[in-house]
Structure 1
Amino acid sequence: MKIFVITGASDGIGAEMARQLAAARGADAGLVLAARNREKLDAVAAECQARGAQTLVVVTNVSEESECRALVDQAVQQFGRIDALINNAGVSAQALFADVKAQDLHWYEKLMKVNLWGSVWCTHAALPHLVASKGSIVAVSSLAGLVGVPGRTAYSATKFAMTGFFEALRAELKSSGVSVTTAFPGVVATSIRHRGYNARGEPAGSSGLKEDDAMSVEECARLIVEGMNARRREVVMTAKGKLGRFVKLVAPGMVESMALAALKDDVRPH
């Protein structure tokens, strides 16, 4: 049996990865599902159990170091090992930096605690077990962690930090047998941007990005799981993302124009 710890597993990409792993592996999968909402976690766990997987639900706020370490401890107590840690928990945000008041700027720090530090703490706690199993680490970053996106200064900062951390860690772990896969989704059809912060640090209630061509959650989860199984270094999911990464090196101004074009007109800077 292989044991997978998935943060942000209550809905969206994390929940779909859990369902796909359960469907593919059945009784060979032990899924440790972590997020803040127990009711949603229990629902995902039931779906995975129906596909034959064993599950453990651990209510976890990854912005708290002690809860990240408790998550790993409970996973090992239950299953005796960890084969993969999928750092998927994250919070989005959409706000022009000039619109953020000084008294509200603290939510930038809150975003960093979830998107970066949650991954750092979970990875640090799980690392000895992953070295023992020669397992896999997955970091779900974003195209906003490769190209700075206007209106998403806070989000891009957290995802660039995440990208850099796991790139350095991959080199450190090269001889250990532990793989590090960083995934870079573009716009995916989830509610993450609706729940993300606005300029006041409140739930935005809507997305500031054009979502006509949003990737399905199922496709995004499949690509991440495939990347993990193949122990790939990176998973850049869209043709536009791959192009933007290359063009940034030779024509950065063009990439900035592409990023601006992804914003809805009513949130674009004037």
Structure 2
Amino acid sequence: MDQGRAGGGDRPVAVVTGAAGSIGTRLLERFTEAGYAVVGLDLPDAGADDPRVVGCDITDADAVAATFRAVVERHGRLDVLVNNAGISAIGRFTDHDVTVHRRVMEVDHLGAVACTQAALPALVVTGGRVVVVGSVTGFAPVVGRPAYVAAKHAVTGLFEALRPELARDGVGVTLVHPTFVTTGMGEAADRAPGTGRSTSGAPVTPDDVAQAVVDAVRRGRDRVLVGRTARLAWHLHRLAPRAYTRMMVRRLSG
């Protein structure tokens, strides 16, 4: 287990956003099993049955800052931040107005910005790591969810740029790109009528993603592709982008 530099208590601490969702709950379990003290963040009352989950709207920068101060005051340190919270919007570009696009960007991209800025001083002390649970949509085009693709490209690009910047302070960055997950995810708006298929290829489970995250933190990995479809998309999009696009459109337009 990579616990970073000493700071505060002996037990490493991980904060997971989107903690009440399917991937989030498995992340809490996997980090707990790995020996971490775990704090989950989600909307107030979303994780009311789990004492590890704290109510915090990550689109409220003031609430985020106060929450991270409280976490560090209570635990004495912070070693890992997992930016896992995310929502989607399924439909064509013309199906969703600016309000929907803004909401997806606020959660998927700006929420990660707010949490990372709030966590960074404590992560510098421990030589910790920021993890972004992204998606295939963060590095390749996927039809039928333009707002989600835009937000995931934004957060992926941001943390690619931050990796060398944060490395100077001893903080690592891990990008995790799962393919479609069996349980799906929350959406910012109702699906438009006639929406095409929402998945392609063999999906992965929330636990597959959670285990990949914990393994990546332990090994200090920069990037993880979760699932055969994610690995295929990564290589095909780079080697033959037109072939990738044709295959992706065919599989998701049925």
The answer for the alignment partner of 1:76 in structure 2 is: 72
- Rate the CA distance shift 1:3–1:204 in 2: closer, same or farther, 3 A: farther
Match of 1:67 among 38, 52, 63: 63
The one-character-per-residue Cα deviations of 1:26-84 (angstroms, maximum 9, x if unpaired) are xxx2111110142x524344xxxxxxxxx4x3201111111221221111121111111
* Kept in 2: contact 1:94–1:196 (CA 8 A): yes
* Alignment map for 1:47-66 (pairs within 5 Å): 55=52, 57-66=53-62
* Kept in 2: contact 1:94–1:208 (CA 8 A): no
The one-character-per-residue Cα deviations of 1:94-120 (angstroms, maximum 9, x if unpaired) are 1111333xxx32210111010000000
Q: Residue type of the partner of 1:181?
A: T
The answer for the alignment partner of 1:196 in structure 2 is: 187
The answer for the alignment partner of 1:236 in structure 2 is: 225
- In structure 1, C-alpha distance between the alignment counterparts of 2:216 and 2:192, rounded to whole Å: 31
Instruction: Give the C-alpha shift of residue 213 in structure 1.
Output: 2.2
Partner SS, residue 187 of structure 1? coil
* Kept in 2: contact 1:196–1:204 (CA 8 A): no
TM-score by length of 1: 0.83
Residue 98 of structure 1 pairs with residue 89 of structure 2: no
The answer for the alignment partner of 2:3 in structure 1 is: none
The answer for the alignment partner of 2:28 in structure 1 is: 18
Highest RCO, 1 vs 2 (Cα 8 Å, sep ≥ 6): 2
- In structure 1, C-alpha distance between the alignment counterparts of 2:196 and 2:61, rounded to whole Å: 29
The one-character-per-residue Cα deviations of 1:197-250 (angstroms, maximum 9, x if unpaired) are 3xxx33679994136722111112101111111110001112332232222233
Match of 1:175 among 160, 168, 178: 168
The answer for the alignment partner of 1:156 in structure 2 is: 149
- Rate the CA distance shift 1:9–1:155 in 2: closer, same or farther, 3 A: same
Instruction: Give the C-alpha shift of residue 158 in structure 1.
Output: 0.3
The answer for the alignment partner of 1:49 in structure 2 is: none
- In structure 2, C-alpha distance between the alignment counterparts of 1:212 and 1:159, rounded to whole Å: 20
- Rate the CA distance shift 1:207–1:62 in 2: closer, same or farther, 3 A: farther
Match of 1:219 among 208, 223, 233: 208
TM-score by length of 2: 0.88
Residue 129 of structure 1 pairs with residue 136 of structure 2: no
Residue 249 of structure 1 pairs with residue 242 of structure 2: no
Match of 1:165 among 158, 166, 185: 158
Unaligned 5+ residue runs, structure 1? 46-54, 266-270
* Kept in 1: contact 2:204–2:226 (CA 8 A): no
- In structure 1, C-alpha distance between the alignment counterparts of 2:85 and 2:167, rounded to whole Å: 25
The one-character-per-residue Cα deviations of 1:103-148 (angstroms, maximum 9, x if unpaired) are x322101110100000001101110110001011101111011111
- Rate the CA distance shift 1:236–1:230 in 2: closer, same or farther, 3 A: same
Residue 9 of structure 1 pairs with residue 19 of structure 2: yes
* Kept in 1: contact 2:138–2:152 (CA 8 A): yes
- In structure 1, C-alpha distance between the alignment counterparts of 2:49 and 2:253, rounded to whole Å: 34
Residue 43 of structure 1 pairs with residue 82 of structure 2: no
Unaligned 5+ residue runs, structure 2? 1-10
- In structure 2, C-alpha distance between the alignment counterparts of 1:78 and 1:262, rounded to whole Å: 48
- Rate the CA distance shift 1:203–1:243 in 2: closer, same or farther, 3 A: closer
Instruction: Give the C-alpha shift of residue 189 in structure 1.
Output: 1.3
* Kept in 1: contact 2:91–2:191 (CA 8 A): no
Single out whichever of 156-165 and 217-226 deviates more from structure 2: 217-226
Instruction: Give the C-alpha shift of residue 154 in structure 1.
Output: 0.6
Match of 2:37 among 18, 23, 30: 30
Q: Residue type of the partner of 2:47?
A: L
Instruction: Give the C-alpha shift of residue 93 in structure 1.
Output: 1.3
